[in-house]
C-alpha cells in the first residue's frame, strides 16, 4: 500500500540532530575516528545517589501502575522547594507545577493548548527546532525573531511589528540560550513581561540550561514582578543532573497556563513513570555537589577549547552559560561548508548554525560533551586544516 504523509509533516524540515547523527554514523562506518561535538548529550553518568533512588523506586509495586495527572506531589513539592531555594520564587505545587516527559515534550505539546490556526507564534532564531515544529503541527504562523550579536543574541522586541504583535498568541524565549549561550539580564525579562501584558501574549520560557553557568547565576523569568500573570517556565533534569535518557522535566508558573498544557497531556499520555519521579525528587532534594562538580568540569572544557580556538584564529566569545560554544566560521566559509570540512578532514562533528535558523549562518555550534584530552585532540586536528 502506498502511504502519503499529511501536509503538516511535509512542511517540516529534517530534524537537525537526527541528520547530524546520520552523518556521524556514516563516517564511523567508513572507519573515521569521530570526535562528536554535535548533539548536546552529557557524556557523564547520572550521579550515583540519583540512580540508587531510582533503583529503590523500581521495586515498589505502586510505581508499576499508570502514573496519570500532574505527577507525584512529592516531586512537585521538591520542584517548589528547589525554586524557592534557587530563585526565591514561590510556587504552589498543587496548581502551578506539572510534571513532563522532559521539557522537549512539554514545549512540543504546548502549542496544542493555546495556538489556533492562524495565530502567530514568536520564535527566536537560531533556536531549538521544537518551537517551530509545534507551530507547524497546530497550523500557527511562525514569526522569527533574529538573534544577532549586535543585540547580545537576544530577541529585539522593539523590532516586532505592531500588526504581528497584536496577532501573536505565544512568545518563546530561551535563556541561557541554545545555541548562542546568551544569558538574558533582568532588564530583558522586565521588558518581556511588559510586552506580553500589552499584547496579551503568553510567555513560554525555556530554562533548561539555567544550572550550567560559570561566572554568574542566570535568573528565572518568574523572578520578575508580573511574570506569573503572563507565562510559564520549562525546566528539565536532563542537563543539570545528566539525566537526558530518564525523560523528566516540568512546567511551572501561571496556574491557568499550566492547567492548559496539563489538559493536553491528560489526553495524550499517561504521565511520567513514578520511579523516575522519585529519582528526580532525590536529585532536587539531595546534595547539589554533583551539579557544582559538573559546572567545574564544563568550565575547564570551555576554557581549554575556547582558548584553543582563539589560538587557531577562530572568532569566538567565551560562553557564560550552557555547554555550547557558538563560533564564527572561518572567513569565506559558510556554516554547512565548515561543518563538512571539519567532518571530512578532521573527523569532527559539530552543528551548522543555519540549521537552527537563518540568522545562524556564519556560525557553528560545538558541544563540550567530550573530555579534555579529546577536545585537545580536536584542536590538534583542526590546526592541520587549511582554510
Distances 226 to 25, 167, 193 between C-alpha atoms, Å: 47, 21, 7
Q: How far apart are CA 291 and CA 44, in angstroms?
A: 12
Q: What angle do CA 149, 319, 147 make, to 5 degrees?
A: 25
**This prediction's pTM:** 0.94
373 burial (CB, 10 Å; 0-12 / 13-18 / 19+) is: exposed
146 burial (CB, 10 Å; 0-12 / 13-18 / 19+) is: middle
- Residue 196 cell numbers, joined: 506580553
Q: For residue 207, how many other CB atoms are within 10 A of its CB?
A: 22
Q: How far apart are CA 285 and CA 150, in angstroms?
A: 40
- Name the residue with cell 560533551: 369
Identify the CA nearest to 220 among candidates 175, 180, 284: 175
Residue 160 near residue 191 (C-beta atoms within 8 A): no
pLDDT at 21: 72
Identify the CA nearest to 334 among candidates 352, 315, 310: 352
For residue 93, list its beta bridge partners: none
User: Whole-angstrom distance between the N-terminal and C-terminal Cα of the chain?
Assistant: 50
pLDDT at 223: 98
Identify the CA nearest to 218 among candidates 230, 229, 206, 201: 206
pLDDT at 230: 98
pLDDT at 9: 81
Low-confidence ranges of the chain (pLDDT < 70): 1-2, 15-17, 19-20
Residue 205 near residue 288 (C-beta atoms within 8 A): no
For residue 168, list its beta bridge partners: 120
What are the backbone dihedrals phi and psi of residue 60, each rounded to the nearest 5 degrees, phi first?
A: -90, 120
| Polymer length of the chain | 387
Q: For residue 152, how many other CB atoms are within 10 A of its CB?
A: 15
Helix axes 274-285, 73-87, angle to 10 degrees: 30
Domains of the chain: 7-45+289-382 (3.90.1150.10), 49-285 (3.40.640.10)
pLDDT at 286: 96
Q: How far apart are CA 352 and CA 335, in angstroms?
A: 5
What are the backbone dihedrals phi and psi of residue 148, each rounded to the nearest 5 degrees, phi first?
A: -120, 155
pLDDT at 15: 65
- Residue 134 cell numbers, joined: 509545534
Sheet architecture: strand order including 324-328? 324-328, 363-367, 351-352
Residue 208 near residue 247 (C-beta atoms within 8 A): no
Q: How far apart are CA 155 and CA 152, in angstroms?
A: 9
Identify the CA nearest to 122 among candidates 147, 144, 146, 151: 144
Identify the CA nearest to 82 among candidates 252, 204, 301: 252
**Element (DSSP H or E) covering residue 266:** helix 255-268
- The distance of Cα 126 from the centroid of its chain, to the nearest Å, equals 12
Q: How far apart are CA 349 and CA 33, in angstroms?
A: 11
Identify the CA nearest to 323 among candidates 302, 305, 348: 302
Amino acid at each position: 500500500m502506498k502511504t502519503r504523509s499529511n501536509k503538516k509533516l511535509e512542511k517540516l524540515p529534517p530534524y537537525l540532530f537526527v541528520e547530524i547523527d546520520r552523518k556521524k554514523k556514516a563516517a564511523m562506518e567508513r572507519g573515521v575516528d569521530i570526535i562528536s561535538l554535535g548533539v548536546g548529550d552529557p557524556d557523564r553518568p547520572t550521579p550515583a545517589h540519583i540512580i540508587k533512588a531510582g533503583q529503590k523506586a523500581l521495586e515498589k509495586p505502586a510505581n508499576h501502575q499508570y502514573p496519570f495527572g500532574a505527577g507525584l506531589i512529592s516531586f512537585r513539592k521538591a520542584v517548589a522547594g528547589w525554586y524557592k531555594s534557587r530563585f526565591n520564587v514561590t510556587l504552589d505545587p498543587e496548581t502551578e507545577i506539572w510534571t513532563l516527559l522532559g521539557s522537549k515534550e512539554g514545549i512540543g505539546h504546548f502549542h496544542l493548548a493555546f495556538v489556533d490556526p492562524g495565530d502567530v507564534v514568536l520564535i527566536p532564531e537560531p533556536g531549538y527546532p521544537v518551537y517551530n515544529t509545534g507551530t507547524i503541527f497546530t497550523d500557527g504562523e511562525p514569526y522569527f525573531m533574529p538573534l544577532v550579536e549586535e543585540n547580545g543574541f537576544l530577541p529585539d522586541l522593539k523590532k516586532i511589528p505592531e500588526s504581528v504583535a497584536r496577532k501573536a498568541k505565544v512568545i518563546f524565549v530561551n535563556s541561557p540560550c541554545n545555541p548562542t549561550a546568551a544569558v538574558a539580564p533582568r532588564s530583558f525579562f522586565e521588558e518581556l513581561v511588559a510586552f506580553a501584558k500589552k499584547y496579551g501574549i503568553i510567555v513560554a520560557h525555556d530554562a533548561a540550561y539555567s544550572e550550567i553557568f560559570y561566572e554568574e547565576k542566570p535568573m528565572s523569568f518568574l523572578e520578575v514582578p508580573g511574570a506569573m500573570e503572563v507565562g510559564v517556565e520549562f525546566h528539565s533534569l536532563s542537563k543539570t543532573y545528566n539525566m537526558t535518557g530518564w525523560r523528566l522535566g516540568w512546567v511551572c508558573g501561571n496556574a491557568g497556563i499550566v492547567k492548559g498544557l496539563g489538559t493536553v497531556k491528560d489526553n495524550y499520555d499517561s504521565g511520567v513513570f513514578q520511579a523516575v519521579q522519585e529519582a528526580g525528587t532525590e536529585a532536587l532534594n539531595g546534595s547539589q555537589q554533583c551539579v557544582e562538580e559538573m559546572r567545574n568540569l564544563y568550565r575547564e572544557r570551555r576554557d581549554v577549547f575556547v582558548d584553543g580556538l582563539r589560538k587557531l584564529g577562530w572568532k569566538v566569545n567565551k560562553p557564560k552559560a550552557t555547554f555550547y560554544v557558538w563560533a564564527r566560521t572561518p572567513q569565506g566559509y559558510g556554516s554547512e561548508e565548515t561543518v563538512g570540512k571539519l567532518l571530512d578532514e578532521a573527523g569532527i562533528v559539530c552543528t551548522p548554525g543555519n540549521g537552527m535558523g537563518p540568522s545562524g549562518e556564519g556560525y557553528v555550534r560545538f558541544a563540550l560533551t567530550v573530555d579534555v584530552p579529546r577536545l585537545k585532540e580536536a584542536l590538534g586536528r583542526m590546526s592541520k586544516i587549511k582554510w
